[in-house]
């Protein structure tokens, strides 16, 4: 039951080229920055990454795009990353855009062992091209497949040595689904506590979904766009 590792680098001992990697985050909130930095140092390449966003040019998953380690991105929101844009327009990066709710449900389904589901979202658009379509109660729906990953990276506010995790605010939007859908899930936490210190009712991801955990360092809180207004006179 000892899932605790000393740092991010030591958790990546068996990552290899060509894997499908699921990564938590809602914008830059909840990005596992220590794990992303460790993966950049390791140099693992030809990655297919599934994440709500592609980070910004220099933060989040933008770090791995800068180092050319990503082959394909499966995402919902990619508008803050100029390097992502450049690689996509030059044909260096394969991109699969998903409606945000659909991506969340694809991950949830993968973690629950559900191979596919139908949703009306995307019917009649390019999202539906090449996919099975069926009518339910008068509404046309598109079949979407569940997503599983070889590995999953998640960042939590707090975790214990068994891997039970607690997220804060919008970091919770995708992290629980990502954690459940990874075959091997690695959790980076801001605070690592002993078993029993987290109230059971407060656990967002049960430890059964987490194989490795470590306490991260130097957690930053980057902001995609800082909007301010002049102070009133």
Burial 120-159 (b: 16+ CB within 10 A, else e): ebbbeeebbeeeeeeeeeeeebbebebbbbbbbbbbbbbb
The answer, yes or no, to whether residue 221 has pLDDT greater than 80, is no
Report if residue 46 sits inside a domain.
Answer: yes
Spatial separation of the C-alpha atoms in residues 99 and 177, rounded to whole Å: 16
Contact by Cβ (8 Å): 122, 128 = yes
133 is a domain residue: no
Rounded to an integer, the average pLDDT of 227-232 is 82
List the domain range (segments joined by +) for residue 167.
Answer: 8-116+145-215
* List of residues 6+ apart from 138 with CB closer than 8 A: none
Within-domain flag for 121: no
Asked if 37 and 62 touch (Cβ cutoff 8 Å), the reply is: no
pLDDT tens sequence across 21-51: 999 999 888 999 999 999 999 999 999 999 9
pLDDT on residue 106? 98
Q: Is the pTM of this model over 0.85?
A: yes
Q: How many domains does the chain have?
A: 1
Domain-embedded: residue 162? yes
Query: Would you place residue 131 in the very low, low, confident or very high pLDDT band (cuts 50, 70, 90)?
Result: very high
164-201 confidence digits (pLDDT tens):
999 999 999 999 999 999 999 999 999 999 999 999 99
Q: What is the CATH number of the domain that holds 98?
A: 3.40.1080.10
Asked whether residue 65 is domain-assigned, the answer is: yes
Give the residue carrying structure tokens 């506010």.
157
């Amino acid at each position: 039951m000892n899932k605790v590792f000393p740092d991010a680098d030591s958790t990546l001992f068996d990552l290899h080229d060509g894997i499908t990697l699921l990564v938590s985050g809602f914008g830059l909130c909840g990005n596992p920055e220590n794990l992303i930095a460790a993966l950049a140092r390791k140099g693992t390449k030809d990655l297919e990454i599934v994440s709500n966003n592609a980070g910004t040019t220099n933060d989040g998953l933008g770090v791995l795009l800068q180092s050319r380690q990503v082959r394909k991105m499966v995402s919902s929101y990619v508008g803050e990353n100029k390097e992502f844009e450049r690689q996509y327009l030059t044909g260096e990066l394969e991109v699969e855009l998903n409606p945000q709710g659909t991506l969340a449900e694809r991950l949830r389904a993968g973690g629950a062992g559900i191979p596919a589901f139908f949703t009306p979202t995307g019917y009649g658009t390019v999202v539906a091209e090449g996919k099975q379509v069926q009518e339910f109660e008068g509404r046309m729906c598109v079949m979407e497949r569940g997503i599983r990953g070889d590995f999953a990276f998640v960042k939590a506010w707090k975790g214990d040595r068994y891997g039970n995790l607690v997220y804060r605010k919008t970091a919770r939007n995708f992290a629980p689904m990502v954690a459940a859908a990874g075959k091997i899930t690695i959790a980076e936490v801001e605070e690592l506590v002993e078993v029993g210190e987290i109230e059971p009712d407060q656990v967002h991801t049960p430890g059964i979904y987490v194989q490795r955990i470590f306490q991260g360092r130097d957690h930053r809180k980057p902001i995609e766009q800082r909007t301010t207004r002049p102070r009133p006179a």
